[in-house]
């Protein structure tokens, strides 16, 4: 749902693992941004009420971007930069904490 | 208690306010410690400016203006700590204690003086469907733009009020993905207000000119702008598929997969409130602001500068940072007269800069009845899924204040700790009880201000 | 504004009694302070607890035991009236012991308590279980825990929903609730009592002080002792975690929504409901020792609240002898005793037989002269 504009400067890429799948993303992205970039927002996360939710503020306030990073659940994806070899798992189990 | 780290002065936040303060302190021979959650200095406005992804033609000139500040900041002798979240603070007689969590774990700091330069956040403004994927804040979209040059694949709808909405629309236009339309909740007549606020309009002419230019550019690009939109709704099965808006006496519908909203920014309240700074309702800005004196001091050893103290924009934040730094310097030196002059100059500049604010506030004033006109099903607390109807019921049952309402409904008890619903709850109670927001008050904010795990916290125990 | 009863305090004690009175057809008004007042009812652990209560005072142990037996019916009644789920559960509980000496003292205390009363000897059941035996009740229990006392009478509820349900039920019974109406003074008047607030006066035939720590000021005005002091308790709550079948403990319990409630400290710090890093870390350390799987759980909130403590820790139910029709009620287990307060205690007040019926809890036991 998001694409990179042609005019943006060339940025290095890193390989991350998103739900087991290896993807290359710009190194400047946060985990939340990377997931939106690769997968869009439709299946970002499932909330306590079972409904789909996705990042809302991307600046550390709303806690809608909770995601499992390197095995640690419920981290704010917007505050963590992607890094080479990082493993990211979306939390689709229907609670804020299915890690 | 783990290791206790010490510093003379701590600054929380490396946005324009925090950076400017830190630089000024180093000029006086002090090496402050600067904690910031971000990966790089810059704060909200200068995000990613250290390694810019978008060029000046796309970002607008304000963004690149921050390069000098960033340069000075990186050259100065500052104990800068990125990716460090201050999760706890406590004022003591001889200083301030802070709890900091970073990749290495939790540490405890004791500093003699502290500057809060924690900035602002986008105001939460509930409408039906705002919790659906496909509904984001405009600031979030701008962050994607700055961080990775990311823009929506399909043309979005922008809705709300305030300069950031138009800035984003303009940036998207420049990047070749013009928005489908702009749903502006500000009535068209408000854009004629500058005629009534002549002094403010003159002092803030560059803002106004910039705004007018952007609107013009959008019109030229063929983006429909609807002024005076009165209600908004997003619908869709699992994500946003359509937006509905009430405009000129009718509901209109628009298919879209992305609606980006903006309703102004408000000071991020958590840390300031958690350490016990009193906050007062500000009628103009329609939010709570920390009490500060002329030297920007909020408590004996605590100063607040930048948007965290009241919305004034990036340049004002920089000036406030410098002013606060001057006021924090206690050691008498032989350049007292110079400092006095510097301070006076900054104060004058600040007054000039802030003169436009009443006008901007009046122009972008949000409708105070918005929340009370929402349907019962509208979610107010996104974390705990508490609807407006549920809040209304609890108020009827005797929840007379924000904290009792929270206890009765769990509104504000989720991971965001009330950041997204706090102001709404105050507004709702204020309408129902016909009392000013100041009398209604706000949630009592407690640590942790930023998330940490029990394991991390336990590691600081004495016998661990 | 004349009613049968004026209740000062809208915490769980005042509202439970108010509910009992209103259900009986009494006209009741409740005066309460503002939103940010000290209100233990909003900061407690939500245990409906029996074991350990009344060590050295068997009457209190008996009262706690009997109250726990009436809790299920009380919860059902409130839920039927208000459709608010109080999340009450009484499937037993465990008070943990961290080492052998604690375990020894605990067992000795309980045995002694049982010997002190026929009622308790017959009905109070408990058992010491070692760590291994506790695993079925507390799956995942950490290595360093010695064991704990299990008792079938203990349970827990959502204390916030309890408070809300009491408010809602009272409202549906026609009770008048006045928030932000602090009582400055209480005095007798021609046909009853008068409560002065900043903006107005309220009158009633009888008056009940259920003001928590506010009793210190208000009770003496009507010849009642109100000898209570604040004892701070700090608590932590985690994010929601997957639900695990487990029993509550006073050290920590999982709530119905999944968060772990971790408590609590006992601190004599006066009227300060703040939190301290020392105590927060200490609670976290204890929690991860009890359940090592909690290491990764994120802390959502820490808070401090003030207990309303009488000199011997047991409830204080007093009727003024100088001003008949004036009562003072204090206790530091207002959740555990809520069912009792709404039923028998309210009945005793309606019949004006409080001192007679519950003399063991009278202020006379402290022998503090009521001040004039
Ligand atoms: C989403 C958003 C987008 C904006 N975009 C623009 C724009 O494009 N153009 C424009 O002119 N203005 C913009 N503004 C307004 C602009 O950000 C402010 O005027 C200016 O940045 C204020 O500077 P500041 O130093 O006060 O705070 P900020 O720049 O917000 O900096 C505050 C810093 O404090 C850090 N922080 C906060 N709490 C903690 C904590 N507990 N521990 C550690 N660190 C913490 C934050 O991470 C942040 O880096 C935007 C505001 C927002 C909220
Ligand atoms: C950390 C902690 C954990 C606890 N855990 C448990 C537990 O697990 N189980 C259990 O049974 N109990 C527990 N308790 C105790 C329980 O919370 C209290 O016994 C109970 O809440 C007391 O209720 P109350 O109505 O007497 O007092 P409060 O809740 O304090 O209410 C008193 C009310 O009186 C009002 N008031 C005071 N002065 C005036 C005035 N002048 N005019 C008008 N109104 C006034 C106040 O505003 C307040 O609303 C715990 C307490 C704490 C602090």
Nearest CA in chain B to A63: B416
pLDDT 10s digits, B84-131: 999 999 999 999 999 999 999 999 999 999 999 999 999 999 999 999
Question: Does pLDDT of C34 surpass 90?
Answer: yes
The residue ranking higher by pLDDT, C65 or C369, is C65
**Yes or no, beta carbons of C239 and A99 under 8 Å apart:** no
**Yes or no, beta carbons of C240 and A97 under 8 Å apart:** yes
Confidence tier at A10 by pLDDT (50, 70, 90) = confident
- Residue numbers in A near B128 (CB within 8 A): none
> What is the 3 state secondary structure string of B289-327?
EECCCCCCEEECCEEECHHHHCCCHHHHHHHHHHHHHHH
- Residue numbers in A near B140 (CB within 8 A): 55-59
Question: Does pLDDT of C371 surpass 60?
Answer: no
- Residue numbers in B near C281 (CB within 8 A): 1, 457-458, 460-462, 464
**Yes or no, beta carbons of A7 and B54 under 8 Å apart:** yes
pLDDT 10s digits, C179-195: 999 999 999 998 999 99
Please give the distance, rounded to the nearest whole angstrom, from the Cα atom of residue C216 to the centre of ligand 2: 13
Q: What was the pLDDT predicted at A98?
A: 38
Nearest CA in chain A to B39: A81
Select the residue of C42, C281, C299 nearest B453 (Cβ to Cβ).
C299
DSSP calls for C175-224:
-EEETT----EEEEETTEEEEE-SS-EEEEEEEEE--GGGHHHHGGGGT-
Q: What was the pLDDT predicted at B60?
A: 86
Nearest CA in chain C to A74: C298
CA distance B420 to chain A (A): 6
Stated as kind and residue range, the H or E segment containing C70 is helix C58-82
| Spatial contact of C341 and C20, defined as CB atoms under 8 Å apart | yes
pLDDT 10s digits, C116-149: 999 999 999 999 999 999 999 999 999 999 999 9
CA distance A23 to chain B (A): 15
Averaged pLDDT, groups of 10, chain B, 464 residues long: 86 98 96 97 96 90 94 98 97 96 94 98 98 98 96 97 95 95 94 83 85 92 96 97 97 98 97 97 97 95 98 96 94 78 93 89 91 96 98 97 98 97 97 96 97 94 60
Select the residue of C35, C170, C287 nearest B454 (Cβ to Cβ).
C287
Q: What was the pLDDT predicted at B1?
A: 47
**Yes or no, beta carbons of C298 and A99 under 8 Å apart:** no
pLDDT 10s digits, C41-92: 999 999 999 999 999 999 999 999 999 999 999 999 999 999 999 999 999 9
Q: Which residues does a 6 A CB cutoff place in the pocket of ligand 2? A: C 8-14, 31-33, 37-41, 43-47, 49, 182-183, 210-212, 214, 218, 233, 235, 263-264, 305-308, 331-336
Q: What was the pLDDT predicted at C225?
A: 94
Ligand 2 atom closest to the CA of C34, numbered from 1: 47
Write the DSSP symbol of residue C20. Answer: H
C287 interfaces chain B, CB cutoff of 8 Å = yes
List domains and CATH numbers for chain B.
4-121+266-331 (3.50.50.60), 124-263 (3.50.50.60), 371-440 (1.10.10.1100)
| Spatial contact of B183 and B247, defined as CB atoms under 8 Å apart | yes
Nearest CA in chain B to C300: B415
CA distance B248 to chain A (A): 29
Question: Does pLDDT of A29 surpass 80?
Answer: yes
Nearest CA in chain B to C276: B90
Residue indicated by tokens 């840390």: B271
User: Which of B15, B39, B88, B262, when mutated, tests ligand 1's pocket best, judged by the most ligand atoms within 8 Å of its CB?
Assistant: B15
**Taking the model in full, what pTM does it have?**
0.96
CA distance B192 to chain A (A): 31
Q: What was the pLDDT predicted at C368?
A: 59
Confidence tier at A96 by pLDDT (50, 70, 90) = very low
CATH of C3-45+160-228+312-366, one of 3.40.50.1000, 3.40.50.300, 3.30.930.10, 3.50.50.60: 3.50.50.60
**How far apart (Å, rounded) are the C-alpha atoms in residues B343 and B263?**
33
List domains and CATH numbers for chain A.
14-89 (3.10.20.30)
Dihedral angle of Cα C41, C42, C44, C45, to the nearest 10 degrees:
120
**Yes or no, beta carbons of B144 and A57 under 8 Å apart:** no
| Spatial contact of B281 and B287, defined as CB atoms under 8 Å apart | yes
Q: What was the pLDDT predicted at C22?
A: 98
Contacts of B212 (CB under 8 A, 6+ apart): none
| Spatial contact of C239 and C255, defined as CB atoms under 8 Å apart | no
C80 interfaces chain B, CB cutoff of 8 Å = no
CA distance A21 to chain C (A): 25
ipTM above 0.90, yes or no: yes
Q: What was the pLDDT predicted at A9?
A: 75
A92 interfaces chain C, CB cutoff of 8 Å = no
**Yes or no, beta carbons of C300 and B417 under 8 Å apart:** yes
Nearest CA in chain A to B38: A79
- Residue numbers in B near C285 (CB within 8 A): 457-458, 461, 463-464
Q: Mean pLDDT over residues C290-305, rounded?
A: 97
pLDDT 10s digits, C334-344: 999 999 999 99
Nearest CA in chain A to B239: A42
For chain C, give every domain's residue range: 3-45+160-228+312-366, 93-152, 229-309
- Residue numbers in C near A46 (CB within 8 A): none
Total length of chain B: 464
Dihedral angle of Cα C360, C365, C368, C372, to the nearest 10 degrees:
30
Select the residue of A33, A56, A57 nearest B150 (Cβ to Cβ).
A33
Mean pLDDT for all residues in chain C = 96
Give the rounded percent of residues in chain B with a pLDDT score beyond 90.
87
**How far apart (Å, rounded) are the C-alpha atoms in residues B105 and C159?**
34
Question: Does pLDDT of A99 surpass 80?
Answer: no
**Yes or no, beta carbons of C284 and B454 under 8 Å apart:** yes
CA B415, B416, B417, B420 torsion-angle sign: negative
**Yes or no, beta carbons of C257 and B410 under 8 Å apart:** yes
Please give the distance, rounded to the nearest whole angstrom, from the Cα atom of residue C256 to the centre of ligand 1: 37
Ligand 1 atom closest to the CA of B17, numbered from 1: 25
> For atom 48 of ligand 1, which residue has the closest CA?
B43
Superfamily of domain C229-309: D-Amino Acid Oxidase, subunit A, domain 2 (3.30.9.10)
- Residue numbers in B near C277 (CB within 8 A): 1, 88, 90, 97, 99, 108, 460
- Residue numbers in A near C254 (CB within 8 A): none
Closest ligand to Cα C310: 2
User: In 3D, which of C142, C281, C201, C261 has the Cα closest to residue B101?
Assistant: C281
Q: What was the pLDDT predicted at B193?
A: 85
- Residue numbers in B near A57 (CB within 8 A): 121-122, 136-137, 139-140
| Spatial contact of B359 and B204, defined as CB atoms under 8 Å apart | yes
C163 interfaces chain B, CB cutoff of 8 Å = yes
Please give the distance, rounded to the nearest whole angstrom, from the Cα atom of residue B309 to the centre of ligand 1: 12
With contact defined as 3+ CB pairs under 8 Å, the chains touching A are B, C
Total length of chain A: 99
Please give the distance, rounded to the nearest whole angstrom, from the Cα atom of residue B138 to the centre of ligand 1: 14
């Amino acid at each position: 749902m998001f694409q990179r504009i042609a005019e943006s400067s060339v940025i290095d890429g890193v390989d991350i693992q998103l739900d087991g799948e290896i993807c290359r993303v710009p190194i400047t992205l946060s985990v939340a941004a990377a997931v939106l970039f690769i997968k869009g927002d439709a299946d970002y996360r499932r909330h306590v009420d079972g409904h789909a939710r996705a990042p809302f503020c991307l600046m550390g306030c709303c806690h809608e971007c909770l995601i499992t990073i390197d095995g640690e659940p419920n981290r704010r994806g917007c505050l963590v930069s992607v890094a080479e070899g990082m493993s990211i798992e979306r939390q689709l189990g229907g609670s804020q904490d299915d890690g | 208690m783990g290791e206790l780290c010490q510093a003379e002065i701590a600054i929380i936040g490396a946005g324009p306010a925090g950076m400017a303060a830190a630089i000024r302190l180093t000029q006086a021979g002090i090496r402050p410690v600067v904690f910031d959650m971000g990966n790089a200095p810059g704060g909200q406005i200068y995000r990613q400016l250290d390694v810019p992804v978008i060029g000046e033609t796309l970002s607008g000139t304000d963004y690149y203006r921050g390069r000098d500040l960033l340069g000075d900041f990186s050259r100065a002798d500052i104990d800068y700590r990125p990716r460090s979240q201050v999760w706890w603070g406590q004022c003591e007689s001889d200083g301030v204690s802070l709890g900091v969590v970073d990749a290495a774990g939790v540490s405890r700091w004791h500093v003699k003086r502290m500057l809060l330069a924690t900035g602002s956040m986008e105001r939460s403004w509930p409408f039906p469907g705002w919790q659906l994927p496909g509904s984001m804040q405009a600031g979030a979209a701008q962050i994607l733009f700055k961080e990775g040059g990311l823009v929506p694949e399909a043309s979005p709808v922008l809705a709300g009020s305030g300069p950031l909405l138009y800035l984003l629309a303009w940036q998207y236009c420049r990047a070749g993905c013009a928005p489908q339309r702009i749903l502006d909740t500000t009535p068209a007549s408000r854009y004629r207000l500058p005629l009534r606020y002549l002094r403010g309009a003159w002092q803030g002419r560059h803002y106004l000119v910039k705004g007018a230019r952007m609107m013009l550019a959008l019109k030229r690009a063929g983006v429909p702008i609807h002024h005076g939109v009165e209600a908004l709704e997003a619908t869709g099965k699992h994500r946003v598929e359509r937006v509905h808006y009430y405009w000129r006496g009718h509901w209109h519908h628009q298919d879209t997969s992305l609606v980006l909203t903006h309703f102004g920014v408000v000071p991020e309240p958590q840390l300031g409130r958690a350490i016990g700074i009193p906050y007062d309702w500000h009628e103009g800005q329609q939010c709570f602001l920390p009490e500060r004196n002329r030297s920007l001091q909020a408590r004996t050893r605590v100063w607040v500068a930048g948007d965290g103290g009241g919305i004034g924009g990036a340049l004002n934040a920089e000036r406030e940072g410098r002013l606060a730094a001057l006021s924090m310097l206690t050691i008498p030196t032989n350049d007292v007269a110079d400092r006095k002059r510097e301070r006076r100059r900054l104060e004058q500049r600040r007054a000039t800069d802030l003169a436009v604010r009443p006008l901007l506030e009046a122009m972008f004033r949000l409708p105070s009845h918005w929340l009370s006109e929402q349907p019962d099903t509208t979610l107010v607390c996104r974390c705990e899924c508490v609807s407006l109807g549920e809040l209304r019921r609890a108020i009827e049952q005797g929840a007379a204040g924000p904290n009792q309402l929270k206890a009765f409904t769990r509104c504000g008890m989720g991971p965001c700790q009330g950041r997204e619903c706090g102001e709404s709850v105050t507004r709702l109670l204020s309408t129902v009880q016909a009392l000013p927001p100041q009398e209604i008050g706000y949630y009592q904010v407690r640590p942790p201000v930023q998330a940490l795990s029990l394991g991390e916290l336990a590691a600081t125990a004495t016998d661990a | 504004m004349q009613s049968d009863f004026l209740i000062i305090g809208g915490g769980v004690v005042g509202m439970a009694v108010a509910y009992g009175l209103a259900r009986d057809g009494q006209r009741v008004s409740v005066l309460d302070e503002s939103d940010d007042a000290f209100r233990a009812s909003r900061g407690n652990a939500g245990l409906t607890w029996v074991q350990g209560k009344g060590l050295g005072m068997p009457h209190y142990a008996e009262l706690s035991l009997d109250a726990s037996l009436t809790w299920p019916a009380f919860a059902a009644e409130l839920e039927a009236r208000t459709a608010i789920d109080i999340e009450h559960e009484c499937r037993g509980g465990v008070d943990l012991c961290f080492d052998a000496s604690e375990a020894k003292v605990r067992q000795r205390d309980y045995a002694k308590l049982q010997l002190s009363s026929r009622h308790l000897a017959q009905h109070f059941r408990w058992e010491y279980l070692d760590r291994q035996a506790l695993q079925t009740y507390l799956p995942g229990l950490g290595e360093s825990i010695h064991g704990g006392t299990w008792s079938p009478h203990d349970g827990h509820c959502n204390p916030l929903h309890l408070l809300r349900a009491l408010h809602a039920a009272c409202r549906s019974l026609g009770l008048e609730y006045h928030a932000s109406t602090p009582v400055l003074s209480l005095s007798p008047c021609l046909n009853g009592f008068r409560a002065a607030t900043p903006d107005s006066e309220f009158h009633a035939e009888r008056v009940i002080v259920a003001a928590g720590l506010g009793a210190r000021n208000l009770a003496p005005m009507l010849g009642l002792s109100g000898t209570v002091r604040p004892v701070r308790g700090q608590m932590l709550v985690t994010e929601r975690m997957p639900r695990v079948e487990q029993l509550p403990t006073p050290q920590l319990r999982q709530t119905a929504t999944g968060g772990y409630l971790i408590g609590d400290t006992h601190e004599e710090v006066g009227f300060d409901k703040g939190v301290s890093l020392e105590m927060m870390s200490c609670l976290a350390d204890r929690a991860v020792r009890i359940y090592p799987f909690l290491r990764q759980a994120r802390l959502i909130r820490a808070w401090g609240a003030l207990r309303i403590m009488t000199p011997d820790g047991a409830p204080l139910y007093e009727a003024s002898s100088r001003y008949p029709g004036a009562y003072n009620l204090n206790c530091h287990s207002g959740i555990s005793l809520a069912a009792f307060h709404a039923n028998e205690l309210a009945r005793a007040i309606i019949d004006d037989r409080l001192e007679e019926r519950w003399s063991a809890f009278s202020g006379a036991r402290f022998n503090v002269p009521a001040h004039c």
